[in-house]
Amino acid sequence: MKKKIEEISLHAQEYVMNFYKNHGYKERGTVFLEAGIKHIEMFKIIEK
């Protein structure tokens, strides 16, 4: 059985956010603390 993946999301540490932006990811939401480190949710739509 194949699953159709339409989006990838991750919690990026704030200081590497631009790395993910340069690879097609976009920000979602606001900065939050995870394990005492600032993060932001980022996502990328998978091309069909």
In a domain, 2, yes or no: no
Distance set, CA 6 to CA 2, 16, 30, 45 (Å) = 13, 23, 22, 6
In a domain, 1, yes or no: no
Residue 35 lies in a domain: yes
Q: How many CB atoms lie within 10 A of CB 44?
A: 14
pLDDT for 5-40, tens place per residue? 999 999 999 999 999 999 999 999 999 999 999 999
Domain extent for 39: 7-45
pLDDT of 48 over the 80 cut: no
Confidence of residue 47 (pLDDT cuts 50, 70, 90): confident
| 32 vs 47: which has the higher pLDDT | 32
